Amino acid sequence: MSKATELREQALQKFKDARALVDSNGNVPAEKLEAFNATMSDAMDTDKAYEQAAAAENLSVGRLDERLGAYTAEATGGPGMRFNRTPLDPAKSGSLGQQFVQSAEYARLREGNALESDSSPFNTGRVVLTPRVHQGRVPMGAAAGDTIQTESGGPGNALVLPQYLPGILGLPQRPLEIRDLFSSGQMTTGDTLSYAAQSGFDSGAASVAQSDAVDHATIGVKPQSSIAWERRTAAAEWIATYMVATRQALADAGVIASLIDNQGRLMLRLEEEDQLLAGNGTPPNLEGVQNVTGLQTLDLDTTNLDNLDGIRTARRMVKTGLSRMTADWIAINPEDSEEFDLLKDQNDLYRGGNPIGNFGFNQSIWSLQRVETEALTAGTALVGSRAGATVFERQPITVLTADQHSDFFIRNLIVVLFEERLAFPIFYPTAFVEITLDQWA
């Protein structure tokens, strides 16, 4: 039995153990709730190990919801978990939130009275989501009380609202521009992309004399060139999070659209930017530009260049590197971007121009599009070419809704899960230069 198969059987057994704690009415008795949650958490962790082992063995395991459905069906002898799955496409007209409230899935929820009635069952079936911790930092599944806690009345008070204003205020958020710095593509099958990354460039091109009928063995012979390629693999990885809403909030198209547009999508995109730049390549992380083999580096602490001259040198390094590409953008932390804006000449004039009037924020530097991002630490900048890497979308942003996590069903709460799946092959590592900036005076 392979390691992946063994882990799947262990995950299934844990789901069965959790099922044994559920009474005949489908409820978990209070005295068994702690054991139930612990068993489900173990089951999910084991399933994650199964997914990683299967990837190492080149086995396809399907999406998480498909595996949960299979586990549930085997553990209960009945139908598996059902999700209300709504794929969203950023390229379509209308925001993602508008797409959701206009979808057939949302219409079925409204028409079935599942959102308006306190007693009507949610038509996507039973789903149990357990609290987990992501990389030891942030709880991805906060307890219900943590999610809807209020200052005055605790968890229950959030469910008793005499009136609420529709929609969520669209406050300014961290600009999301990193994904636009790379080309994009669609991944239609499988869990991995096998691709060739450039690792060498040897041009022997030269002028050649016309062949001589007398000495045709040496005169007129064309020189050989070569480009070296290295076979690499990019895995499609999940980026996901979930939040909690009341049935009443989900029934209000304005609220749920705002939740998706202003909150859910933002959370996914923030993690996406961190992964594209700094992902370490260890599953379930993408391999980001800063950690790819072949990335060019420039440490200005060890050169006589100042930071402005160093950016120009990095642009030249992209042009003269193996890829021979042309750099077209620079990503930089907002703190360093401010320092560039504040540079002055000997006459105490701003080098970027008049800051009142014709001065524009996010001005280009050496004709490179400047993108400010907190995904880069202060003191580090990245110069690159858009053609050097491609973001492949295996699954677009998808919203899943379900009604059972702990006691959510009897409290009229709905889980709203956001997820997407991406692969990130970097075809030309030398098309990017990571710069360690010199300390600002």
> H or E element: which one contains 101?
helix 96-101
Final residue of a structural domain among 81, 110, 140: 81
Average pLDDT over residues 359-384: 87
Q: Is residue 32 in a domain?
A: yes
Last residue of a domain, one of 45, 63, 81: 81
Q: Are 195 and 425 in contact (CB under 8 A)?
A: yes
Indicate the number of domains in the chain.
2
Judging by beta carbons within 10 Å of its beta carbon (0-12, 13-18, 19+), is residue 26 exposed, middle or buried? Answer: exposed
Calpha distance 11→39 (Å, rounded): 10
Residue 87 CA to residue 82 CA, distance in Å, equals: 15
Q: Which residues pair with 402 in a beta bridge?
A: 415
Residue 350 belongs to a domain: yes
211 within domain boundaries:
no
Other C-beta atoms closer than 10 Å to the C-beta of 173 total: 12
Cross-strand partners of 186: 393
Identify the domain containing residue 47 by its residue range.
Answer: 1-81
Bigger pLDDT: 130 or 266?
Answer: 266
Indicate which CATH number applies to the domain containing 304: 3.30.2320.10
Q: What is the DSSP string of 315-329?
A: HHHHHHSTT-----E
Q: Across the strands, what pairs with 166?
A: none
> Do strands 390-402 and 329-332 pair parallel, antiparallel, or not at all (unpaired)?
unpaired
H/E stretch holding 266 reads: helix 265-278
**What tokens does 335 get?**
């703190």
Residue 19 lies in a domain: yes
Work out the mean pLDDT of the chain and round it to a whole number.
76
pLDDT digits (tens, 9 = 90+) for 158-196: 434 444 444 444 444 555 578 889 988 888 888 888 888
* CB-based contact 199:162 (threshold 8 Å): no
Report pLDDT for 419: 87
Decide if 312 is inside a domain: yes
pLDDT above 50 for 142: no
320 part of a folded domain: yes
Q: State the pLDDT confidence band at 277, using cuts at 50, 70 and 90.
A: very high
- Domain endpoint, select from 81, 104, 132: 81
61 domain-assigned: yes
The winner for highest mean pLDDT among 166-180, 191-205, 237-251, 280-294 is 280-294
Stated as kind and residue range, the H or E segment containing 123 is none
Beta-strand pair 183-186/390-402: parallel
Query: Has residue 148 been placed in a domain?
Result: no
DSSP 8-state symbol, 350:
B
C-alpha span between 298 and 433 (Å, rounded): 7
Residues 56-92: pLDDT tens digits? 888 877 777 677 777 777 776 665 544 556 666 666 6
Distance, in Å, from the CA atom of 131 to the CA atom of 422, rounded to the nearest integer, reads 24
Backbone angles phi, psi at 195, to 5 degrees: -145, 165
Residue percentage of the chain with pLDDT more than 70 = 69
